[in-house]
Amino acid sequence: MSTETTYQGLVVRGLATFSDRPALVDGDVRLSGRQLDARVAQMVQAYRDNGLRTGDRVALLGANCADYVVAQLAAVALGVTYTGLHPLASVPELASVLRTLAPEALVFVPDSSATVAKVRDHLGRHECRFLSLGPGEIGVDLCERRDEQDTTSSTSSLWVPVSADHVPSISFTGGTTGRSKGVLRSQRSLACSVTTMMAEWDWPAELRFLAAAPLSHATGSMVPAVLLRGGCVHIRAGFDPMAVVKQIRREKITSTFLVPTMLYRLIDLPSSVDADLASLRHVMYGAAPMSPGRLAEAIRRWGTIFNQLYGQVEAPNTIATLHVADHRLDVPGRLASCGRPTLANEVRLMDENGYPVPSGMPGEICVRGPLVMDGYLDDPDATRDAFRDGWLRTGDMATSDADGFLTIVDRRKDVIVSGGFNIFAGDVERSLAMHPAVSEAAVIGTPDDLWGEAVTAYVVLREPALDPRELVAHVRADRGSAWAPKHIHIVDALPLTPLGKPDKPALRRRHWPVDGRAVN
């Protein structure tokens, strides 16, 4: 057995290291490190009692809650490969993922029982055990079996170490094709992610972390890092801005992770709430581009407490980071950056032929190192397309300045070719976001008989009476006439993916033929 650090080993160590400190809070549930460790050990035994073994696959479904955290940590400790399913995904999408994954069991929060019943009908003959994290009409109550176990057990007394090549997590991503792919992430990859979080993120000394974004995705992978630093994870189900403010005030939260849409909703609250957020020392954000103008507004209100992550499912969370100290209002363009590459991996900007691009020119972010995925589940063609000469091609186009700060300008396949010019939608979005009347913006290319593709913007306004022509003039003055939108649609809200990102495919479907080419 290799002595290489594993994600499983880090999870077990995190549960055992700070036994007497608060570790998990979810409403009336308040667990110390020792109590959380015992509860995870009980869940490991409950999994075993239901026939799950190291190497099996389980899917986890449910909104954020303490039992979800326990179920995920127990899966890691047992050496089960887990897949977090988004609680807001449609029934057909969930069934599609489960058919591809073919798990031995679906573990779910009781509030998801109605959805699980519909998913079960969609699965047909596919054999999958249904294990509930509480009493319900479907499946075995895992928590009842768990609570029958010895409360003095520890996870470290039950785990059987796995190798660094073992796959603890398969996460599904739509990718650039729109077809969900299962990303195989090894113990090595997730261990690299966690250790990089611990080493390079600007955590506060007193760490009370609010898990407000879905635990099924990036937030769940942050839990082990919080525990390893002796912090406490506070659970939030759903995102109601005022409820979040009240929880931050009540629990004196010092750290959280938010996607930009969540952060915008907090920024839009009246300044009277600012005193309630005074305990915050560290706000991670990422998963989608952040408006530099809105970020500057947040810094002016709450101080320099922001820390950006950049990663993707194929290289989770820690390709690059923009540190708290790097959030400088006096450096032009800095707030548009996603930071500098982290130390554990190699990062290069390459052209379509695999050669490094000149400084200041856009190139595709390519990553090589222990963070990178092993490939896509049962999809050798997609795996081969994702790599070139050992480098993961992220599909994100970026520039790098003289100090090594990366600024993403767009997705590789999201370039708008208009009048012979290559226009990066991200450039137009950032320009629009700098206008004081703009809350959010998403830019796409739409078919145009004259220009080939027209720069088209969907905009959420803070001042509804604004004439859209003012925004066109603003972008023309900021970027040039080629970047100025030919069409602007004022909307009440942008369509969002379940993870809170602007759903550009949904916007494109309004303009492009269903079965036609998406270039013109």
Tokens of 382: 């997609």
Dihedral angle, C-alpha 161, 164, 170, 176, nearest 10 °: 170
What pLDDT score was predicted for residue 350?
A: 96
- Stated length of the chain: 520
Q: Considering its fold, how many domains does the chain have in total?
A: 2
Which helix (H) or strand (E) segment is 478 a member of?
helix 468-479
**Contact in structure between 201 and 284 (CB atoms under 8 Å):** yes
Judge whether 56 lies within some domain.
yes
Judge whether 161 lies within some domain.
yes
Rounded CA-CA distance 473/49 in Å is 66
DSSP secondary structure letters along 402-434: TT--EEEEEEGGGEEEETTEEEEHHHHHHHHHT
Beta pairing partners, 447:
453
**Residue at which a domain ends, from 135, 166, 185:** 185
Q: How many CA atoms within 13 Å lie on the side-chain side of 76? A: 30
Judge whether 324 lies within some domain.
no
Judge whether 11 lies within some domain.
yes
What pLDDT score was predicted for residue 505?
A: 86
Judge whether 215 lies within some domain.
no
- Strands 208-211, 421-424: pairing is unpaired
Tokens of 347: 């990062």
**Residue at which a domain ends, from 154, 185, 216:** 185
Judge whether 142 lies within some domain.
yes
Rounded CA-CA distance 443/424 in Å is 9
CA 321 to chain centre: 14
Cα-based angle 457, 291, 86 (whole degrees, multiple of 5): 85
Question: What range defines the domain where residue 501 resides?
Answer: 419-508
Judge whether 489 lies within some domain.
yes
Cα-based angle 169, 174, 177 (whole degrees, multiple of 5): 135
What pLDDT score was predicted for residue 360?
A: 86
Helices (H), 108-164: 113-123, 142-146
Longest dimension (CA), the chain: 73
What pLDDT score was predicted for residue 9?
A: 97
**Residue at which a domain ends, from 152, 169, 185:** 185
Task: Show Cβ contacts of residue 326 under 8 Å, excluding neighbours closer than 6 positions.
Answer: 334, 337, 339, 340, 405
- 3 state SS of 498: coil
Judge whether 265 lies within some domain.
no
Q: What single-letter DSSP state applies at residue 339?
A: B
Rounded CA-CA distance 206/118 in Å is 44
Closest CA to 396 of 358, 359, 431, 348: 348
Residue 94 is part of a domain; what is its CATH number? 3.40.50.980
Residue 480 is part of a domain; what is its CATH number? 3.30.300.30
Tokens of 203: 């955590």
Residue-by-residue pLDDT tens, the chain, 520 positions: 457 899 999 999 999 999 999 999 999 999 999 999 999 999 999 999 999 999 999 999 999 999 999 999 999 999 999 999 977 777 887 888 899 999 999 999 999 999 999 999 888 766 789 999 999 888 899 988 666 666 678 999 888 899 999 999 999 885 433 457 899 999 999 999 999 999 999 999 999 999 999 999 899 999 999 999 999 999 999 899 999 999 999 999 999 999 888 899 999 999 999 999 999 999 999 987 788 889 999 999 999 999 999 999 999 999 999 999 999 999 988 999 999 999 999 999 999 899 999 988 999 999 999 999 999 999 999 999 999 899 999 988 899 999 999 998 867 767 787 876 778 888 899 889 989 999 999 999 998 877 878 999 999 998 888 999 999 999 988 888 888 999 999 999 999 987 788 999 899 889 987 655 565 6
What pLDDT score was predicted for residue 175?
A: 41
